[in-house]
Amino acid sequence: MDTFALRVTCLSRRGIVAAIAVFLADHGCNITDSAQFDDADTGMFFMRVSFQSEQGKTLDALTQAFAPLAADFDMTFDFFDEAIKPKVVIMVSRFGHCLNDLLYRWRIGALPIEIAAVVSNHMDYQKVVVNHDIPFHCIKVTKENKPEAEARIMQVVDDSGADLIVLARYMQILSDQMCKQMSGRIINIHHSFLPSFKGANPYKQAFERGVKLIGATSHYVTADLDEGPIIEQDTIRVTHAQSANDYVSLGRDVEAQVLARAIHAHVHGRVFINGNKTVVFPASPGSYTSERMG
């Protein structure tokens, strides 16, 4: 039995949930999970519904049939098949902790994606990527060749049919043009501290200031550097007994976990961009199940 999902965004008004439930029931679909949110500040409504098509209705048939209802409520909507794994291009530089974590989660089926390619501006991880039978592309980036390099990156994305770019500690700033072209389809990860530290060696700066919380933030990439809509965050406590190198190691663990959770939420259609913020619904039952144990 096919398991599909429906995502809906529109202005909030009475009757939306009832209309969607009646539509699915009338088309032989059984709802298995549902989440919704009304933003009182913006007046926007967000909803994600998982359901089984018990009478064999296809996505195309459901989309066509739903269009008149969507027009009545002025909805933005999309149906998708939860069994289809989105294609992802991972980009990395010389810090490999997030890349290696994603490769492991992908290998055991804990992260339902298809890694279509890995792009790097260095050769450090060519062997580990190729050993996973994943195409590796080394694309050097300089001030002089940045437009050409980004064109090559986008060619890899287009040729692979990727739906998402993941910056797994890719240490190059993307152009405004690329950010706009892939709006809502590039996820980044970076450290986060309180107070905030920028520039070279932020973990050392945090150590010297006696920071007690190390964190990481994963967000969509926009033209505003590191200020895109936040998808996932987490922290870990440190004490005076930790060294600067401990800060780095602990921080890398948090970064890897936060990035994986952000990707998981995105590929399951649980994330809705809401202005400068996001609405992130809880995971559906069974969505964290791994295909293999190792």
Annotated catalytic residues are: 226
Contacts of 204 (CB under 8 A, 6+ apart): 244, 247
Residue pair 165/220 in contact (Cβ under 8 Å)? The answer is no
| DSSP label at residue 16 | H
DSSP 3-state of 134: coil
CB atoms within 10 A of CB 20: 24
Q: Indicate the burial class of 292 (C-beta count within 10 angstroms; 0-12, 13-18, 19 or more).
A: exposed
Per the structure block, which two tokens stand in for 281? 């619904």
* Nearest one of 47, 7, 50, 17 to 32, comparing CA atoms: 50
Per the structure block, which two tokens stand in for 141? 């980036």
Residue pair 270/111 in contact (Cβ under 8 Å)? The answer is no
